[in-house]
Structures are given as structure tokens and as C-alpha cells.
């Protein structure tokens, strides 16, 4: 476990050595901020009830888009630079390496998410008698779960490549597939029946938008994100292990 | 410290190393010598726990490299040929990271000790990306040394360095070799001659010969090469020396003298001396010149029964002998 932390810590610090996380945090906060402002304008005119979703629903989408930017380099860069040889000959288990890498990226996304808390706080002061607290908690819990899953998919794909760009594109492809294509397939299947149910369960966004963001806690949704995270970490570890045999 | 038995590694259809066996004792500096692509790096990667062999057995410090890989990795310091480093980290942070991965107590002290060993205390705060090749090599060495490993595995530790840096790194290895077991690979023969207690010559995945550098020289067909020098004119000397029984052939004529090679196992110097003096020459010198490792190496790798590969057995450009 200690190795996981050592690796995660290095990864996390390294992010801040480049301008990328600052830039991405800025973009995310800017987009959310603009939407937030517009939502408040509209909300004030129409008197519609507002909650934490004005912040979290664009944020989930933006994270889906930006997570691959951060995860792409994790293992691909080590493999390209040859530094993987260093890590694989250090007394570190393969899963510790993969989990450490994942944790580094996960912590970064959590940091960005943490900064966004300022918006619900503002909203809470603007809206009387304050916003519904339930969805704030479950919504942020959902963001945490989403980030875990996104980064796990990212670290797994990164393990297969020597090239960051390829890792980035593939991760984005997988996430887009789970985000939209799966929903599209569900509709093709008629929305009911076994096929749609199975495929529908794989939809990475409905578990968040339909339940967690509305304050609904369903074990199914939590289990989905946790299993996707575990699967990503497992596949990533397998990929690293396979590398040794080449 | 290192025990290797019939180790074999295939990359797909290509056999990189073929049933090699060798041992290294504690405190021994073992040189792994061979042309590029001979299987040196593959062997080292297996011993460092980077990858498993296809078949065969390898033990480092009493632990099996496959079954007890983590134990092996705890006891091995390894510097890969490419010296992988993180350019965006400072020297200190990088070494601290490696020390932390090895759970070193007082990691910062260990980092400072390692920096001192490679004489880089003054560069601790600098970014690795800004270091010269020689400096990077030393950081790689510091990384391999940080946990005071029982076994140090260095893959081409002096490759790509300038002559001054080569001397520095060689001195460092010699220092380290006093209390660590060192396995180093090189395709520079003089380096193996200077650094190693024992040399393994490997070619096309097989160990061709294993011996001390000195004995390797002596062993070359048991033959001797002797320089004869006389005062004044050396006309006709070749005929005189060539007529002595046991002289295989005259290999070179030099200024007022010649070089001859004697047949295996025969020292004919007394006979040559008598013949030279008897023929009226003033004998000034009569001394043996050893065969260089280069010659041994070329001979051994040339004698391979396998059909000659198109020049990939080239023993590397010998760098100017600097030490």
C-alpha cells in the first residue's frame, strides 16, 4: 500500500509541474461559471427551482472529456521513455503500480471537483431558503464515483500504449462509447427487453444523471461505478504483466 | 550470489539466450562481454526481475527470480542500458522517489549518501533534464546503489560517455565492486579487462568462454608471441629464428627485429636466444607480448560453427584506450 501512495504522490505532484491542470481547471470552472450565470439569470426570470445540478451536470460531462487528457500519459509515457523498466525492477507489485497511477489521476480530478464547490455555496446563498442538500451530497458522491471510473478506464488504456496520443484517443473513445453509444443502442433495442436492460446498465451517464444527481441512492449505481473502476484497474494490471512476457 | 542454470529466453521465434549457465560469488565483478544483440541485456533483465525466462532457473542472493521476484528486486540494484530517468524531476526528488519505493528508512540520508558516492552532491537540486549524459549515468548509478544492494547489475555502464567520464564511472565501479557483487555488460574489451575479476564472453545467446581476463589471454591456443630485438642490422634474422624448432611462424618484422609465434605449449625462448647469439647478432631484447582480449574475442566469436551472420557479430568500435 505504501508503494501505491509513493507512486500516486509523485504522479499528483507531477501534474502541477505542467500548465495542463491549471488550464483544464480554468476551462472547466469557466464553462461551469458561464452556464451557472445563465442558469441564474433564467432562474431569476422564471422563478424555476434551482439545485446543485446546474453545476454538476455540465461538470460530469466535462470530466468525461478531460479525464483522458490526464490519464493518457500515466503508463504510456513510462513505456515510451523506458522508465517502466525502473518501476518493474523496483520491489513494487504490478497492481501497486497501476493503482498508484490511477490514484494520482483520481486525486487530481477530485482536486478540480473540490474547487467547484464554490458554486453550490454561492447558489445556496442566492436561493431562498437554500438549495436542497440531499442532491449536493449524492451528486458530489456521484462525481467522485464517475472520476474513479473515468480514470480507471484511462489507466487501463494507457497501459496498452507507448504513445500518449493513442492512449488519449482510445480512452476518449471508450468513454464516449459508454456515455452515448450505449444509450443509443438501448434505444435501438426498444428501451425494454433483456438486451436493453443489459446494455442500459452499462450506460455510464444514466447512473449519475437519473439517480445520484437527483438525490437517489441506489446500490446498483454505486456498484456499477465501483465495478467499472475495479475492472479498469484489473485490466491495466494484466496489461502491465503481459508486457513482461514480451 | 548469482546462480544461473540453463537459462533460455525466446522472443517469439528468435532465441535471445540459449541455455546459459554461470555463477557469481560475493564481492566478484563479473563482466559480460559480447557483441550487440548477443543476449547480454536479456540476461540482465531476467536477473533484475524485469521479465521471466522462457525456461531455466536463475537465483539472485538465494531467491528465485520468478518465484520470489520481489525478494530478488529488493536485493538488486539495476541500471538499464538506456538509464531511464524522469527529466522533469530534480535529482534529489528522483532518488528520494526510488528510495521510498524501496522503503528505505531515513530515505533522505540514503539519497545524500548515494549522491556522495557518485560525486553529485552539488547537483541534487538540478533537474535531470538539464544534466549531461555522464551526469545522468551517474544518477542512474546512484539509483542502483541507493539501497546498498547485494548485487549490482549494470548494463553498458560506460556507453556514450566521453573519456573523462568513462574513467570516472570505471573508478566508481571498481570502488563499488569491493563490497558488492557486480555484473556488468560491455562490448568494450579493455573495459572488461580493467574492471572484471572474471569475464563471460557471450555470442549469439551462448556463453562462448568463461575465465579471468589474465587466463583468457594465456589460454589463446596456448601460444606465445615473442618480440626479438637485436642491435644493429637485423638482415637474415628471420631465417635464423625461423629455423629454430618450435617456432611456428614469423608474424611480423619490426625495426631491427621481428615477432614470432611459438607452437602451443612450447617456450622456445632459450633456443631462440642461443640461435640468435650463435649467428653473431647482438641480442638486446626477447620478450613476450600477450594477445589482447580483442584478438581472443575475435577468434572465439569467429570460431563459432554457426554460419556467419552478416556482420552483426562486429565486436563494437573499440574506443580509444583511455585508462
CB B86 within 8 A of CB A83: yes
Please state the rounded mean pLDDT for residues A136-154.
Answer: 94
pLDDT at A96: 96
pLDDT at B307: 43
pLDDT at B267: 75
| Distance from C-alpha of A169 to C-alpha of A175, rounded to nearest angstrom | 10
Query: Measured between CA atoms, how close is B205 to chain A, in angstroms?
Result: 17
Query: Measured between CA atoms, how close is B71 to chain A, in angstroms?
Result: 7
The confidence band for B323, taking pLDDT boundaries of 50, 70 and 90, is very low
Is residue B299 predicted with pLDDT exceeding 80?
A: no
Q: Chain B: residue nearest A243 by CA?
A: B51
**Digit-coded pLDDT (tens) for A204-221:** 888 888 888 888 888 989
**Domain residue ranges in chain B:** 2-212, 224-288
**Digit-coded pLDDT (tens) for B51-97:** 999 999 999 999 999 999 999 999 999 999 888 899 999 999 999 99
Give me the CATH topology for the region B2-212: Rossmann fold (3.40.50)
pLDDT at B17: 92
Extended strands (E) in B234-305: 247-254, 257-262, 282-288
| Distance from C-alpha of B233 to C-alpha of B281, rounded to nearest angstrom | 8
The confidence band for B320, taking pLDDT boundaries of 50, 70 and 90, is very low
The confidence band for B303, taking pLDDT boundaries of 50, 70 and 90, is low
Q: Which among B51, B97, B101 has CB closest to A244?
A: B51
CB B283 within 8 A of CB B228: yes
User: In the A/B pair of chains, how many CB contacts fall below 8 A?
Assistant: 61
Least confident of B2-11, B140-149, B226-235: B226-235
The confidence band for B316, taking pLDDT boundaries of 50, 70 and 90, is very low
For residue A17, which residues of chain B lie inside 8 Å, CB to CB?
88
Beta-carbon separation of B73 and A90 below 8 A: yes
Mean pLDDT, rounded, of chain A: 89
Please state the rounded mean pLDDT for residues B91-111.
Answer: 94
pLDDT at B301: 66
Query: Is B102 at the interface with chain A, CB within 8 A?
Result: yes
| Distance from C-alpha of B177 to C-alpha of B188, rounded to nearest angstrom | 18
Q: Chain B: residue nearest A1 by CA?
A: B101
For residue A244, which residues of chain B lie inside 8 Å, CB to CB?
50-52
Extended strands (E) in chain B: 2-11, 14-24, 29-33, 55-60, 63-64, 76-79, 151-155, 181-186, 198-203, 206-211, 224-231, 247-254, 257-262, 282-288
| Distance from C-alpha of A93 to C-alpha of B132, rounded to nearest angstrom | 32
CB B36 within 8 A of CB B22: no
Q: Chain A: residue nearest B79 by CA?
A: A86
| Distance from C-alpha of B67 to C-alpha of B59, rounded to nearest angstrom | 10
pTM of the model: 0.82
For residue A88, which residues of chain B lie inside 8 Å, CB to CB?
49-50
Least confident of A18-32, A202-216, B180-194, B241-255: B241-255
Query: Measured between CA atoms, how close is A157 to chain B, in angstroms?
Result: 21
Q: Could you give the ipTM of this predicted complex?
A: 0.89
CATH number of B224-288: 3.30.70.100
Cis preceding-peptide flag for A129 (omega within 30 of 0)? yes
Mean pLDDT, rounded, of chain B: 83
| Distance from C-alpha of B276 to C-alpha of B247, rounded to nearest angstrom | 13
Please state the rounded mean pLDDT for residues B209-234.
Answer: 75
Please state the rounded mean pLDDT for residues A114-119.
Answer: 90
Residue ranges of alpha helices (H) inside chain A are 2-15, 20-46, 53-71, 73-81, 84-88, 94-115, 118-126, 133-158, 164-176, 182-188, 193-201, 206, 219-245
| Distance from C-alpha of B19 to C-alpha of B17, rounded to nearest angstrom | 7
Instruction: Tally the residues of chain A.
Output: 246
Percent of chain A with pLDDT over 90: 56
| Distance from C-alpha of B114 to C-alpha of B256, rounded to nearest angstrom | 55
Query: Is B50 at the interface with chain A, CB within 8 A?
Result: yes
Beta-carbon separation of B101 and A245 below 8 A: no
Query: Is B127 at the interface with chain A, CB within 8 A?
Result: no
Please state the rounded mean pLDDT for residues B119-124.
Answer: 90
For the four alpha carbons of B179, B183, B185 and B189, in that order, the dihedral sign comes to positive
Instruction: Tally the residues of chain B.
Output: 323
pLDDT at B296: 66
Three-state SS for B221-232 is: HHCEEEEEEEEC
Q: Chain A: residue nearest B82 by CA?
A: A82
Is residue B204 predicted with pLDDT exceeding 70?
A: yes
Percent of chain B with pLDDT over 90: 37
The confidence band for A152, taking pLDDT boundaries of 50, 70 and 90, is very high
Query: Measured between CA atoms, how close is B197 to chain A, in angstroms?
Result: 26
Instruction: Compare B182 and B191 and report the one with higher pLDDT.
Output: B182
In order, the DSSP letters of A101-163 are HHHHHHHHHHHHHHHTTHHHHHHHHHSTT---HHHHHHHHHHHHHHHHHHHHHHHHHHTT-S-
Residue A146: exposure state from Cβ atoms within 10 A (0-12, 13-18, ≥19): buried
Please state the rounded mean pLDDT for residues A9-27.
Answer: 90
Beta-carbon separation of B86 and A83 below 8 A: yes
| Distance from C-alpha of B6 to C-alpha of B25, rounded to nearest angstrom | 18
Q: Which three cell numbers mark A40?
A: 441564474
Closest CA to B266 of B228, B295, B226: B226
Is residue B192 predicted with pLDDT exceeding 90?
A: no
Amino acid at each position: 500500500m505504501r508503494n501505491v501512495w509513493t507512486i500516486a504522490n509523485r504522479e499528483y505532484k507531477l501534474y502541477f509541474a505542467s500548465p495542463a491542470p491549471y488550464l483544464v481547471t480554468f476551462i472547466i470552472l469557466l464553462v461551469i461559471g458561464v452556464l451557472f450565470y445563465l442558469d441564474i439569470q433564467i432562474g431569476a426570470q422564471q422563478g424555476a427551482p434551482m439545485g446543485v445540478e446546474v453545476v454538476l451536470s455540465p461538470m460530469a460531462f466535462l470530466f468525461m472529456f478531460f479525464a483522458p487528457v490526464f490519464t493518457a500519459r500515466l503508463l504510456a509515457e513510462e513505456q515510451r521513455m523506458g522508465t517502466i523498466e525502473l518501476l518493474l525492477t523496483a520491489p513494487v507489485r504490478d497492481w501497486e503500480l497501476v493503482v498508484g497511477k490511477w490514484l494520482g489521476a483520481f486525486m487530481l480530478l477530485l482536486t478540480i471537483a473540490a474547487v467547484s464547490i464554490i458554486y453550490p455555496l454561492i447558489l445556496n446563498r442566492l436561493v431562498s431558503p437554500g438549495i436542497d442538500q440531499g442532491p449536493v451530497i449524492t451528486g458530489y458522491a456521484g462525481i467522485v464515483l464517475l472520476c474513479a471510473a473515468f480514470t480507471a478506464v484511462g489507466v487501463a488504456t494507457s497501459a496498452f500504449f507507448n504513445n500518449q496520443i493513442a492512449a488519449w484517443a482510445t480512452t476518449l473513445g471508450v468513454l464516449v462509447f459508454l456515455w452515448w453509444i450505449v444509450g443509443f443502442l438501448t434505444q435501438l433495442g426498444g428501451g425494454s427487453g433483456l438486451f436493453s436492460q443489459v446494455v442500459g446498465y452499462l450506460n455510464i451517464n444514466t447512473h449519475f444523471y437519473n439517480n445520484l444527481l437527483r438525490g437517489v441512492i441506489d446500490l446498483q449505481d454505486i456498484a456499477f461505478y465501483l465495478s467499472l473502476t475495479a475492472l479498469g484497474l484489473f485490466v491495466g494490471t494484466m496489461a502491465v504483466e503481459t508486457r513482461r512476457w514480451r | 550470489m548469482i546462480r544461473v542454470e540453463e537459462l533460455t529466453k525466446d522472443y517469439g521465434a528468435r532465441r535471445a539466450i540459449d541455455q546459459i549457465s554461470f555463477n557469481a560469488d560475493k564481492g566478484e565483478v563479473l563482466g559480460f562481454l559480447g557483441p550487440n544483440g548477443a543476449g547480454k541485456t536479456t540476461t540482465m533483465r531476467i536477473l533484475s526481475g524485469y521479465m521471466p525466462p522462457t525456461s531455466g532457473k536463475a537465483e539472485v542472493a538465494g531467491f528465485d527470480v520468478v518465484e520470489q521476484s520481489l525478494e530478488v528486486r529488493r536485493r538488486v540494484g539495476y541500471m538499464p542500458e538506456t538509464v531511464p530517468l524522469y527529466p522533469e524531476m530534480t535529482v534529489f526528488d528522483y532518488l528520494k522517489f526510488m528510495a521510498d519505493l524501496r522503503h528505505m528508512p531515513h530515505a533522505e540520508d540514503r539519497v545524500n549518501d548515494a549522491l556522495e558516492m557518485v560525486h553529485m552532491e552539488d547537483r541534487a537540486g538540478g533537474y535531470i533534464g538539464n544534466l549531461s549524459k555522464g551526469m545522468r549515468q551517474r544518477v542512474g548509478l546512484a539509483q542502483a546503489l541507493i539501497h546498498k544492494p547485494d548485487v549490482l547489475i549494470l548494463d553498458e555502464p560506460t556507453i556514450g560517455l566521453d573519456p573523462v567520464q568513462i574513467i570516472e564511472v570505471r573508478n566508481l565501479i571498481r570502488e563499488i565492486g569491493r563490497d558488492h557483487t557486480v555484473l556488468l555488460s560491455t562490448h568494450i574489451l579493455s573495459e572488461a579487462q580493467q574492471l572484471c575479476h572474471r569475464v563471460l564472453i557471450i555470442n549469439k545467446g551462448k556463453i562462448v568462454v568463461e575465465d579471468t581476463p589474465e587466463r583468457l589471454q594465456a589460454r589463446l591456443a596456448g601460444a606465445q608471441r615473442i618480440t626479438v630485438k637485436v642491435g644493429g642490422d637485423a638482415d637474415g634474422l628471420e631465417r635464423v629464428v625461423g629455423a629454430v624448432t618450435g617456432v611456428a611462424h614469423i608474424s611480423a618484422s619490426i625495426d631491427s627485429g621481428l615477432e614470432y609465434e611459438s607452437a602451443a605449449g612450447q617456450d622456445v625462448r632459450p633456443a631462440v636466444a642461443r640461435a640468435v647469439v650463435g649467428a653473431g647478432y647482438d641480442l638486446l631484447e626477447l620478450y613476450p607480448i600477450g594477445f589482447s582480449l580483442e584478438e581472443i574475442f575475435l577468434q572465439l566469436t569467429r570460431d563459432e560453427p554457426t554460419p556467419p551472420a552478416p556482420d552483426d557479430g562486429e565486436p563494437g568500435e573499440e574506443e580509444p584506450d583511455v585508462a
